[in-house]
Amino acid sequence: MIKYFSQLAIPFTLLILCGVCFPINAQKTKSTSLKIIETKPSVYISFDHSGKQDALFEGDSNNRTWLRLHNNTKLKIFFCEYSVDKEYGDVGIFYEVERFAYFNEYKNEKSPNGYGRADNCNVHTLASGKSVLFSLPSESLTKGLRIKTQFFYGWTGDWKEDIYEGIINFVTFAIDRKGLSN
């Protein structure tokens, strides 16, 4: 009888180990992250290209930089936009130009103004995983400067009569000492 149990011990042990190591009905855990690509920010701006284009507004140079605003969330985002001809991008985006505090050698230089918005804006809805192309004068991205634009996550509130009732978020883009970055 002991011989009989010892002969069953090895197959029985293997069966138990297979059940532990390779569960048949293992449940997959769902990601709770709202990001589509985990290694990227939820909303970010990337460099697309630069080149010559007629000035969009009086006072702009004809040196332009085209950037892309990305929605890396599983939900929509909103931002204020204005219409532009296709050669300037998909949309015009309102933005501010800021000077980095750590670029002391440029602290006395005047910063470009950016394209500020009025009280009203056209609301652009950017779907999950999508991006839009926009351009701005290249002078807005010289050393020591960055651009900043507002956006709103779809889960923080609703647009009502061109007034957003929710939390305002910002995304920035700059040229650092090594080149373009966000």
SS3 of residue 10 by DSSP: helix
- What's the pLDDT score for residue 154? 81
Tell me, what's the pLDDT at 113? Answer: 59
Q: Indicate the domain borders of the chain.
A: 43-181
Task: Please state, as a whole number, how many other Cβ atoms lie within 10 Å of the Cβ of residue 8.
Answer: 9
Q: DSSP per residue over 13-36, as a string? A: HHHHHHHHHS-TTPPPPPP---BS
Provide the pLDDT for residue 162: 46
Nearest to 97 by CA among 135, 139, 130, 47: 139
- Sequential pLDDT tens for the chain (182 residues): 555 555 555 555 545 555 545 555 545 556 678 899 999 999 999 999 999 999 998 888 999 999 999 999 999 999 989 999 999 999 999 999 988 765 555 555 555 556 665 556 788 999 999 999 999 999 899 878 889 999 988 877 665 544 556 678 899 998 765 544 54
